[in-house]
């Protein structure tokens, strides 16, 4: 193994380390137990990053069909041996740790989806339909757990990727019309009562301030009370005194903003923007179509949760249970995102090798 193969892609890791510092600092003051657990998850995630940064992504591309089939089996397995929590069956226990398959599978399904699109080699309506058929079982199984947040992410990332690849807009307009026609079924059959309440709360955040609107109102209070420079994380009463629900997961951005204010929030957003910019550069620099599509999936897999979660924290998006990448508490999401980074690092190394060969 030469030095080039073991080189660390610091332009990918540096903004992530900044986000991890923000996350761990916030979690420490919320509750030291969250801090110690997340620090452990971070160490595990870094191991996965270094492992997958040395994996030849082309090998993974060859086994994409098996990856897809195994993913379906694992999601089905949850309904048999999964652990129920708060009415949802999203986790399975492995070696004493709870693993959320809908999170862990994201980078592997990104490889499978990228390989699927490349094999079709066109942007015909038939390919578009096949891509929808590819993603539909995943979205359906995740929705049935129920995990509406991740189901939305899978669907949104897939559609955004297909748009980026160059599928005609008329295909999406037709799909949008079909979804619109199915809205009554979605509302009356698929959505659960609490999910309907979240949508109603989004439309009118102050409709039930002590009930369904409570989370959003408390989050906006936390963000606003941080003002310009913040209260200081140790004086962040909304999060520390538990007025803010899910202060370490869904609403960690509000917890952080209360402590560090607008300046801290802008620093966090800047770190995300730099990370997304570096991934975008990988998309631009890639000569292989597969690398371009995989990096595009990774880009949207970070951008969309980032946008929805922060929007949720400031009251401009409905509460969907979507966490903030690299910042929210949780091992499965953190490991999944670091696997994404590891595979992106592998792609970037191949780009550098191609450039050296050309020279």
Q: Which of 293, 312, 298 is nearest to 345 (CA)?
A: 298
pLDDT value at residue 262: 95
Beta-bridge partner residues of 85: 88
The residue-averaged pLDDT of 40-57 equals 92
Top pLDDT among 192 and 34 is at 34
pLDDT value at residue 74: 92
pLDDT value at residue 2: 42
Q: Dump pLDDT digits (tens) for 214-227.
A: 888 899 999 999 89
What percent of the chain has a predicted confidence (pLDDT) above 70? 91
Indicate if the pLDDT at residue 189 is higher than 50. yes
Q: For 191, left (φ over 0), alpha (ψ -120 to 50), or beta?
A: beta
Indicate if the pLDDT at residue 27 is higher than 90. yes
CA distance 112 to 106: 10
Q: Dump pLDDT digits (tens) for 263-301.
A: 999 999 999 999 999 999 999 988 888 899 999 999 999
Domain boundaries, the chain: 3-358
Q: Which of 248, 177, 258 is nearest to 225 (CA)?
A: 258
The set of long-range contacts for 5-14, using a CB threshold of 8 Å and a minimum separation of 24, is 5/54, 5/349, 6/54, 7/349, 8/53, 8/345, 9/53, 9/344, 9/345, 9/348, 9/349, 11/278, 12/275, 12/278, 12/279, 12/341, 12/344, 12/345, 12/348, 13/49, 13/341, 14/274
Structure tokens at 351: 């780009």
3-class secondary structure, 93: strand
pLDDT value at residue 45: 97
The residue-averaged pLDDT of 314-330 equals 90
pLDDT value at residue 306: 97
Q: Please give the C-alpha separations between residue 297 and each of 46, 75, 245, in angstroms, as whole numbers.
A: 21, 20, 31
Indicate if the pLDDT at residue 126 is higher than 60. yes
pLDDT value at residue 92: 87
Q: Dump pLDDT digits (tens) for 77-90.
A: 988 888 887 777 88
């Amino acid at each position: 193994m030469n030095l080039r193969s073991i080189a660390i892609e610091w332009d990918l890791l540096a903004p992530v380390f900044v986000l991890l510092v923000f996350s761990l600092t916030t979690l420490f003051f919320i509750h030291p137990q969250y801090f110690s657990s997340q620090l452990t998850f971070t160490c595990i995630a870094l191991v996965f990053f270094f492992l997958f940064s040395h994996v030849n992504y082309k090998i993974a591309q060859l086994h994409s069909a098996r990856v897809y089939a195994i993913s379906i089996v694992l999601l089905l397995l949850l309904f048999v041996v999964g652990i129920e929590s708060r009415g949802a069956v999203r986790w399975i226990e492995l070696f004493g740790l709870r693993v959320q398959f809908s999170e862990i599978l994201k980078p592997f399904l990104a490889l499978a989806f990228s390989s699927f699109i490349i094999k079709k080699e066109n942007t015909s309506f038939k390919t578009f339909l096949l891509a929808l058929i590819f993603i539909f079982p995943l979205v359906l199984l995740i929705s049935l757990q129920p995990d509406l947040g991740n189901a939305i992410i899978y669907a949104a990332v897939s559609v955004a990727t297909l748009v980026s690849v160059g599928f005609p807009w008329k295909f999406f307009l037709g799909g949008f019309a079909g979804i619109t026609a199915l809205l009554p079924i979605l509302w009356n059959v698929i959505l659960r009562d609490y999910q309907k309440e979240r949508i109603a709360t989004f439309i009118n955040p102050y409709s039930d301030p002590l009930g369904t609107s409570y989370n959003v109102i408390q989050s906006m209070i936390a963000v606003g009370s941080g003002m310009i420079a913040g209260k200081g994380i140790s004086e962040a009463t909304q999060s520390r005194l538990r007025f803010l629900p899910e202060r370490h997961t869904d609403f960690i951005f509000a917890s952080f903003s209360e402590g560090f204010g607008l300046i801290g929030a802008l620093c966090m957003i800047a770190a995300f923007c730099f990370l997304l910019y570096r991934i975008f550069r990988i998309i631009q620099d890639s000569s292989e179509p597969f690398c371009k599509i995989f990096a595009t999936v990774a880009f949207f897999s970070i951008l969309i949760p980032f946008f929805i979660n922060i929007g949720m924290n400031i009251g401009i998006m409905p509460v969907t249970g979507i966490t903030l990448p690299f910042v929210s508490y949780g091992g499965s999401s953190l490991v999944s995102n670091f696997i994404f980074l590891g595979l992106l690092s592998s792609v970037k190394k191949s780009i550098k090798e191609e450039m050296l060969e050309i020279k």
